[in-house]
Structure 1
């Protein structure tokens, strides 16, 4: 066995992307800390993936619909409440929630404990939405629901006003 094969760290080969536990772009949006695991640059923008830590009692975005991408949420720890239309679903660790295009949804951490979730975006276009929100905050503009909706509109996403 070669010395390289004996290491416990993953070895990247040409065309393979490896994001370690301390790697990835960090985006902080209010009480949510997000780490970009894949922004689409290694997948031809077919897939984006983030890890989010939602602090206790973190409110989510306004209920909204994506026209062009699927969104997946895998709960690693804690509980995340998903609102889909008029229905609430409390998703605990080990739960996967898939949201197809056109489906109204939002999420929140309603508990006193942090929640961690992995999110996928297919295609990856929505990762830039989070970067844009962070830029707003860095420019000193508040992250209001209205500001979020304005940024959402750039990414084929609109508020689900029929469920507001």
Structure 2
């Protein structure tokens, strides 16, 4: 990841502990698929497995799904977004946030198509691999419906 300084150590809890690092605006591991851009700002290897943060630029609408393994926290930077979580719907603008606990069905759509940016934080870390694998699949010319299905199974996502 560009701009990262890492020196992992074993912490007292047995988890790897990472050194401090910084990223400037626009920095991070850049991934792309389905016409959207993603910047990995924090990953399992940079946070000792505690959490991941991915910036979604001109984010995709995400159909109803649930995660078996991660809680998700969304922080909106630009644009108006509608998040559904369980039976609730939240309209979230810049500076707003929304939490989706693991196991609870949730979805996302933009009010204005293909506009906006938000940060997605997942805990524990590792879900950034979902974005990496889909980016690599599309770059290799793989059939994306099959890639989405396989990667979703691997990362414990159930599309509803």
Unaligned runs of 5+ in 2: 8-18
- 1:45 CA drift (Å): 1.1
- 1:86 CA drift (Å): 5.0
Q: Is the 8 A contact 1:80 1:107 kept in 2?
A: yes
Aligned to 1:135: 136
2: CA distance, partners of 1:22 / 1:31? 18
Q: Is the 8 A contact 1:149 1:158 kept in 2?
A: no
What is the alpha-carbon root mean square deviation over aligned residues? 2.2
Question: What's the TM-score, normalizing by structure 2?
Answer: 0.80
Structure richer in strand, relative to its length: 2
Q: Is the 8 A contact 2:76 2:93 kept in 1?
A: yes
Q: Is the 8 A contact 2:6 2:46 kept in 1?
A: no
1: CA distance, partners of 2:79 / 2:133? 27
Aligned to 2:109: 108
Say which one has the larger Rg.
1
1:1-164 mapped onto 2 (5 Å cutoff): 15-54=19-58, 58-60=60-62, 62-112=63-113, 114-144=115-145, 147-159=147-159, 161=160
Work out the number of aligned pairs and report it: 145
Unaligned runs of 5+ in 1: 1-11
2: CA distance, partners of 1:122 / 1:74? 14
- 1:13 CA drift (Å): 9.7
Question: What's the TM-score, normalizing by structure 1?
Answer: 0.78
1: CA distance, partners of 2:45 / 2:24? 16
